Chain A
Amino acid sequence: MEIVYVYTKKRNEFGRQCNFSDRSAELHVDILPDPSLAVNFIERDPCDVPIQCTQEMSEHEVNTERFESDTRGINHVEGGWPKDVNPHEMEQTIRFRKKVEKDENYISTVMQLGNNMEHCIKQNNAIDIYREYFEEEEVVEESEVQPSAKTINVFRDPNEVKRTASSLSWHPDGSRKLAVAYSSLEFQKVSKDMSLNSYIWDIENPNKPEMTLKPVSPLVCLEYNPKDCHILVGGSYNGQIAYWDTRKGSQPVEMSTIEHSHRDPVYRVIWLQSKTGTDTFSASTDGQVLWWDIRKMSEPTERLILDPNKKGNLDNALGAISLEFETTMPTKFMVGTEQGLVVSCNRKAKTPAEKIVCMYSGHHGPIYALQRNPFFPKNFLTVADWTARIWSEDIKESSIMWTKYHTAYLSDGSWSPVRPSVFFTIKMDGTLDVWDFLFKQNDPTLSVKVCDEALNSLRVQDNGHFLACGSQLGTVTLLEISSGLCTLQKNEKALATAMFERETKREKILEARHREMRLKERSRSEQSKEEDTKEGDGEESPEELITRIEKDFYEIVEAELKKRDKGEEKKVRLILNSFTGLRVVRGSLRVVKGSSKIVKGFTNKGGGPDSTL
């Protein structure tokens, strides 16, 4: 087979000058195949030929010619008159106009347009749509945002064996740090491998505590010195007080001597207002309140024994669980006891007997939290047993406001530092309640389930925006409250003042009434003593009375449970405590059942136990 390849090219394509006449193709070279040359080549077998089965593509760029546009205006001087009409001649223009006006199209168009136009004209005349209406009324900014609390950070106890976070204290300067005291408050639950350490956390870093405090015995309470942000004082499980300087390390700088310390765990230690900024006082369930100067921890500067009989007898003393001290009232302080009494004391009194000014009773269990309202120091909040109560200093008989009895025990509570009507409480079922009594009094405004285990301690930051709560397993949760609950509302102070005054007045009136009733009782019982032999029906023997009361009590409890199951919320609830106070006076027993008066939607107040006798 002959393989012939013919290759033709135009003359000017390979650079030759052009001929101006046609010429036939000339054969320049003809190379015939020479088989002898094949010897110089080896046949390659196999042949590697790469083949690609794709589309053949090539890239092209296209650019259109730039289109230049220009904006020009036309000054219309005179209409586009047709050629035959001279615009300056009146006659011609008038004639033209008349002609147009006769046009049917013109007529119909003008009619239609006229209708539209009239509509708009009338609209304009009817109302001025651009006028500023309602400009006098101020825009009321209502925060429709639901109150909420958001968990920001969770700090867990790094040790294996979990202890309760029993106390929290915010760093006084900017609140970037949180000191947490860990201890196990359950009886005899302290094991050998339980760590004794307490930690200072930086709130930005929940992974590792910033600093460790190593006491001799686990710390039950811990407080930063508000004047000096490096000093902390802690009360420990064995009754000693120790203080730390964070610049000096984890070991306490000084500890109080065992002989002079408390004999029970120190439940609360507070810094006092003094020139030196080194005074503190501590309270413990051994019945003593001790004053210390941290420069000399070998023995307390002062000692007070909480004996309700004012004799200084330690055997009678009430165990103290919480302390309250307000820097605006440096001479007074209050102690909350295990027995449910709040003792108000005067520091400046000369004799121990005068130290105890008065006592407020009304709780059934130990008072875990006691705090004055930062805006109204005359009113204070106590959190104990299943309720939280607000008291006024003047009314000693009972609290002026109280919450309903909850199903879980309340373990701590605190006022909000920015809003006078807001306070927080935490419960043993792990919920945090935020109460705003100007908004809603029956229920908390916000109830948040923080964790599954019980919450033990609560501390609000000074700006009222954040709060930390510590749980039984040592988990400290940092929550942020929605701005509605931490910004002062309009008139809030005035409303809160009015509310407190109203409640105080109500209690005063009730107190007066009870006093009257008591006087009447007394005079009546004096009379009845003479007629003692005649009366037989009204009296019952103590045993019979007790069984009757027990029966009534159980009936009421069952009724309550039934009611709760049905999910009804009745405003009338009988206080259980109207049955708990019974004392025998001069041989006659009288039990006054709680009356079912509804007082402002709260739990009703029947005759309290003291007032019946």
Chain B
Amino acid sequence: MAEVEETLKRIQTHEGVIGTIVVNAEGIPIRTTLDNSTTVQYAGLLHQLTMKARSTVRDIDPQNDLTFLRIRSKKHEIMVAPDKEYMLIVIQNPSE
């Protein structure tokens, strides 16, 4: 329990990190540092995108699997670390 806290806190304090979200397979945000509406939006949309990305990777090579997803946009970078049951989402402002 404490390690989880520590990990998440460490991630949050990295330079440029705007927010951190942990979502479960049903889309329920377990842990978040952003406000609820934003969290819900991110969780929902990114869940779908991750599923699509994973299915794409597996379609091309069934033995392959998605390990990480990074979306870089003009304003910031969204990083998604998917897993079977949970998903960790971090929004970071990369060094400019």
Contact = CB atoms under 8 A, between A and B. Distances in A.
Nearest to B2: A107
B44 interface: yes
Interface in B62-96: 67-68, 70, 72, 77, 79, 81, 83, 85-88, 90, 92, 94-96
Contact of A109 (B14, B29, B72, B83): B83
Contact of A120 (B43, B79, B83, B96): B79
A128 B95 contact: yes
Nearest to B17: A121
A314 interface: no
Interface string B5-17: 0011011001111
A409 to B, nearest CB: 68
B4 A79 contact: no
B87 to A, nearest CB: 8
B47 A76 contact: yes
Interface in A513-552: none
Contact of A113 (B1, B47, B83, B96): B83
A121 B4 contact: no
Interface residues of B, number: 43
Contacts of B68: 116, 120
Interface in A76-134: 76-81, 96-97, 100-102, 105-107, 109-118, 120-122, 124-128, 130
B45 interface: yes
Contacts of B35: none
A75 interface: yes
B88 A128 contact: no
A114 B86 contact: no
Contacts of B26: 79-81
Contacts, number: 108
B8 A114 contact: yes
A124 B48 contact: no
A37 interface: no
B34 interface: no
A109 B43 CA distance: 17
A74 interface: yes
Contacts of A77: 40, 44
Chain B contact residues: helix, strand, loop or mixed: mixed
Given A80-B27, A116-B67, A125-B15, A111 B7 contact: yes
Given A76-B27, A101-B1, A121-B92, A114 B7 contact: yes
B85 A105 contact: yes
A121 B14 contact: yes
Interface string A280-293: 00000000000000
Contacts of A122: 14
B91 to A, nearest CB: 10
Contacts of A101: 1, 4, 30-31
Contacts of B7: 110-111, 114-115
Contacts of B77: 124
A106 B87 CA distance: 10
B40 A76 contact: yes
A124 B47 contact: no
A549 B20 CA distance: 98
A100 B85 CA distance: 11
A127 B48 CA distance: 30
B3 interface: yes
B1 A107 contact: yes
B26 to A, nearest CB: 4
B43 A79 contact: yes
A186 to B, nearest CB: 75
A358 B96 CA distance: 74
Nearest to A96: B28
Interface in A309-344: none
B7 to A, nearest CB: 4
A457 B92 CA distance: 75
Given A101-B31, A111-B4, A113-B86, 20 more contacts: A76-B48, A78-B40, A79-B27, A81-B26, A96-B28, A100-B28, A101-B30, A105-B85, A110-B4, A111-B7, A112-B83, A113-B83, A114-B88, A116-B81, A117-B11, A117-B81, A121-B79, A121-B92, A124-B92, A130-B72
26 contacts: A74-B48, A76-B45, A78-B40, A79-B27, A79-B40, A80-B27, A97-B30, A100-B24, A100-B28, A101-B4, A106-B86, A109-B85, A109-B86, A111-B3, A113-B86, A114-B8, A114-B81, A116-B67, A116-B68, A117-B11, A117-B90, A121-B11, A121-B17, A122-B14, A124-B77, A124-B95
